[in-house]
C-alpha cells in the first residue's frame, strides 16, 4: 500500500474509529455470533451465518484502516509551499472554456467534502492540479471529455 495522506485531525479520527470498532462493534457482533450458535444446528442457522459474515466484514474493514494508519503521512498546512499546487493548498481556478471561476482545497481522501470545496488529492481534478503553478493550465479528463482549468492563485 502506498502512502496515505492525513491531516492531524483526520488521522486522529481514523484512530478513534478503529478503537470504537474494535472495542464496541466487534464485541457486539461476536456476542450475536455466540447467541446464534447456541440455537443449535449451524448448517441451517441463517442468523449465525449472517452474524459470522458481518464479523468478517468488520474485521476486514478494521484491517484496512490499520494499514492506512501504518502508511499514514501527516501533513501540516504550515509546511506547504505556495509556489505550486500541493496537498492542503487552496487553488483559485478558471474554467478556460466557460470562464467560470471557483476555488478548491486539495485534501487527503479522508477529508474530502465536495459540497464545501474540499476535493481529494487523488481525484481526477486533484491529480490534474498537483504540481502546477499560477498561470498553468491543467488538462483533466472527465466523462464528458477534457476540462481545462487555469490556475489563478495558490494559497494555504
Which candidate, 2, 5, 4, 153, places its Cα nearest to that of 79?
5
| Residue spans per domain, the chain | 4-74, 77-155
Instruction: Round the average pLDDT of the chain to a whole number and report it.
Output: 91
Mean pLDDT (whole number) for 26-53: 89
- Partnered with residue 5 across adjacent β-strands are 73
Select from 3.20.20.80, 1.10.287.70, 3.10.50.30, 1.10.3720.10 the CATH code of 77-155. Answer: 3.10.50.30
Question: What predicted TM-score, i.e. pTM, was given to this entire model?
Answer: 0.67
The per-residue pLDDT for 64 is 95
3-state helix, strand, coil in the chain (%, to 5): 45, 25, 30
Helices 26-37, 46-70: crossing angle, 10 deg rounding: 160
In Å, what is the CA distance from 51 to each residue of 9, 34, 35?
33, 9, 10
**% of the chain with per-residue pLDDT over 70:** 99
Asked if residues 132 and 121 have their Cβ atoms less than 8 Å apart, the reply is: no
Is the model's pLDDT at 101 over the cut of 70? yes
The per-residue pLDDT for 3 is 80
**Assigned CATH class of 4-74:** mainly alpha
The distance from CA 7 to its chain's CA centroid, rounded to whole angstroms, is: 11
In Å, what is the CA distance from 30 to each residue of 19, 25, 38, 100?
16, 9, 13, 53
The per-residue pLDDT for 1 is 62
Specify the higher pLDDT residue, 144 or 78: 144
Amino acid at each position: 500500500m502506498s502512502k496515505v495522506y492525513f491531516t492531524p485531525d483526520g488521522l486522529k479520527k481514523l484512530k478513534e474509529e478503529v478503537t470504537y470498532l474494535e472495542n464496541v462493534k466487534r464485541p457486539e457482533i461476536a456476542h450475536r455470533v455466540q447467541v446464534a450458535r447456541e440455537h443449535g444446528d449451524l448448517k441451517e442457522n441463517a442468523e449465525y451465518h449472517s452474524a459470522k459474515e458481518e464479523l468478517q466484514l468488520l474485521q476486514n474493514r478494521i484491517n484496512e484502516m490499520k494499514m492506512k494508519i501504518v502508511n499514514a503521512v501527516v501533513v501540516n498546512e504550515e509546511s506547504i509551499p505556495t509556489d505550486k499546487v500541493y496537498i492542503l493548498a487552496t487553488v483559485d481556478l478558471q474554467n478556460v472554456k466557460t470562464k467560470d471561476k471557483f476555488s478548491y482545497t486539495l485534501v487527503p481522501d479522508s477529508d474530502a467534502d465536495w459540497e464545501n470545496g474540499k476535493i481529494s488529492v487523488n481525484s481526477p481534478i486533484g491529480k490534474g492540479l498537483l504540481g502546477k503553478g499560477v498561470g498553468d493550465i491543467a488538462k483533466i479528463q472527465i466523462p464528458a471529455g477534457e476540462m481545462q482549468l487555469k490556475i489563478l492563485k495558490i494559497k494555504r
